Amino acid sequence: MQPFLKLLLGILFAAIIAFAAYRAKSLSRSGALGALLEGSIIFGLGGWQWAVLLMAFFVSSSVLTRLFGKKKASLNEKFDKGGQRDIGQVLANGGVASIFAGLHFFYPGAAWPWVAFSASLAAVNADTWATELGVLNPTLPRLITTGKPVERGTSGGVSVYGTLAAAGGAAFIALLALLCTPSLNFIVLEPSFVLFFFFLLLSGLLGALFDSLLGATVQAIYRCPHCNKETEKHPLHTCGTQTVQIRGWKWLNNDLVNLFCATMGAIIGILV
Ligand SMILES: [Zn+2]
């Protein structure tokens, strides 16, 4: 297909998806704009294989956000944002992947953009699945650094369900990445598809682990003096009260942590 026509179709496809997600209240208005931008690059400069992986991440995380709504309703306020993803979240999760889809356009014969793209999406998908399903763990999560039990939804808390969900999220992307591997210079990887799968699984798990590690140590965490609860929300809590920072670096919010998680996945991708 001619590059210009492909880009045009990509933008059109991205616009349809972003609008549908906005109407379904999975994305806020700014989030839809971010999705349009990322979708245009990934669909228009990458191609259908790249689109499949992005859609797998996007649809599965939107569905998981909605599932178990009742059970999560009481816990969700601990998270930085509600079910509607805004542009910060969209760019934090898919921005790194978009860059590699764009790089594929300039290095069409190279395998590394596809590997880094898949590894980055494996990491953010692992992290999202872990966040959405980890709260359902029957026992309290434990802080990744100290092993001390913490409240559900606490940044840096890990659990059995969360870890299994992270592995599932990474495996889901890894499997699709294998099935969709474009016919690039993949002769190098052909005899070791299983290795590619496990490598993406590892990238995803390490990315999610890195996310938890930052959450437990340097991510900015706040407290609501009214509800007396720990939260990622700032400046205002869900109740409308101004939150006070209790630990972490002020500039390191949840979006940046997710961005680092996505970058970590891609870096591991390129290294291997
Ligand atoms: Zn409050």
DSSP per-residue string spanning 81-137: S-SSB-HHHHHHHHHHHHHHHHHHHHSTT-SHHHHHHHHHHHHHHHHHHHHHHHTT-
**Ligand 1 centre from 247 Cα, in Å?**
17
**Ligand 1 centre from 84 Cα, in Å?**
20
Q: Rounded CA gap, 181 and 202, in Å?
A: 18
Instruction: Provide the β-strand partners of residue 224.
Output: 229
Instruction: Provide the β-strand partners of residue 85.
Output: 27
**Ligand 1 centre from 21 Cα, in Å?**
29
The pLDDT tens digits of the residues spanning 20-63 come to 999 988 899 999 999 999 999 999 999 899 999 999 999 998 88
Residue in 91, 104, 114 with CA at minimum distance from that of residue 35:
91
**Ligand 1 centre from 225 Cα, in Å?**
7
Q: Is 118 exposed, middle or buried (0-12, 13-18, 19+ CB in 10 A)?
A: buried
**Ligand 1 centre from 79 Cα, in Å?**
12
The pLDDT tens digits of the residues spanning 116-171 come to 999 999 999 999 999 889 988 999 999 999 999 998 878 899 999 999 999 999 99
Global pTM reads 0.89
Give the mean pLDDT of the chain: 88
Q: Rounded CA gap, 62 and 52, in Å?
A: 15
**Ligand 1 centre from 226 Cα, in Å?**
5
Classify strands 244-247 and 221-224 as parallel, antiparallel or unpaired.
antiparallel
Q: Are 16 and 52 in contact (CB under 8 A)?
A: no
Q: Rounded CA gap, 228 and 241, in Å?
A: 11
Q: Rounded CA gap, 228 and 225, in Å?
A: 5
Q: Of the ranges 31-40, 192-201, 213-222, which one carries the lowest mean pLDDT score? A: 192-201
Reported confidence tier of residue 76, pLDDT bands at 50, 70, 90: low
**Crossing angle of the two packed helices 112-134 and 254-271, in degrees rounded to 10:** 140
Query: What pLDDT, on a 0 to 100 scale, did the predictor assign at position 75?
Result: 61
97 alpha carbon, distance to own chain's centre = 10
**Ligand 1 centre from 251 Cα, in Å?**
21
**Ligand 1 centre from 245 Cα, in Å?**
13
In the structure, ligand 1 is a single-atom ion and the residues with CB under 5 Å from it are 224, 226-227, 237, 239, 241
| Torsion angle (degrees, nearest 10) of CA 77, 204, 16, 21 | -10
**Ligand 1 centre from 28 Cα, in Å?**
23
Q: Rounded CA gap, 13 and 56, in Å?
A: 15
**Ligand 1 centre from 158 Cα, in Å?**
24
**Ligand 1 centre from 224 Cα, in Å?**
5
**Ligand 1 centre from 243 Cα, in Å?**
8
